[in-house]
Amino acid sequence: MRVLVALLAACCLVGACRTMPDLSATKGPAPKAQNGLGSCPDGLPSHAGLTDFGAYIGTWQANHYRIPQTSSYAIALESGHVGVQCSAKNYVVEEDFTLTFQVPGGRALQFALTDLPADSLQIYDHTHPACRSLQYQSQAIATQLGNDDQPGLVDITLRSPSRGYNLSAVSMVELRVASALGDDSRPC
């Protein structure tokens, strides 16, 4: 009986470990790139305005739980983690969601859309062999980011863990400030 209980406990432990996010691939803070984007500083105060994508990093951090000893933040209900990049003015202009489980494309898109303001309007939705790309526009983002994103454009990219895009198995969601209205030329 004890052997059976021990075996059951070991199976539960293995199952619990399988449901935890894989943080081994989490990168440390990235240096500022030539385009002015890079790691986001810690310890800045909150500002009025947006609280998710496009927010001042102090406000964004006040609304997200940081995973200890990483540069990533937890997604609600342990669904994965998100890494962020900031503009030179410390606004969140890139978010990379890595989901713990593969989810249908519609569910993955919900992760992205919950980080955009309510006034966001879809510009396009294209499926490519390696990804699905969408673009949204928001006046609230344009107002908040000013010169960092005057038209308020955001590109969303959904990716599957395989080389090809699988609508029923998405595990990565990327949000980025877009460069041009309707421009879908960025490769997957």
Residue 128 lies in a domain: yes
Per-residue confidence of the chain (188 residues) as pLDDT tens digits? 333 333 333 333 334 333 333 333 333 333 434 446 788 999 999 999 999 999 999 999 999 988 888 888 888 767 899 999 999 999 999 999 999 999 999 999 998 999 999 999 999 999 999 999 999 999 999 999 998 888 999 999 999 999 999 999 999 999 999 989 999 888 88
Can you give the pLDDT at residue 6? 37
Can you give the pLDDT at residue 48? 94
Closest by CA to 76, choosing from 59, 97, 93, is: 97
Residue 159 lies in a domain: yes
- Using alpha carbons only, give the angle 29, 156, 27 rounded to the nearest 5 degrees: 15
pTM to 2 decimal places:
0.79
Residue 70 lies in a domain: yes
Residue 184 lies in a domain: no
Residue 185 lies in a domain: no
Q: Domain residues for 99? A: 33-177
Residue 6 lies in a domain: no
Residue 5 lies in a domain: no
Instruction: State the Cα–Cα distance between residues 128 and 107, nearest whole angstrom.
Output: 18
Question: Total structural domains in the chain?
Answer: 1
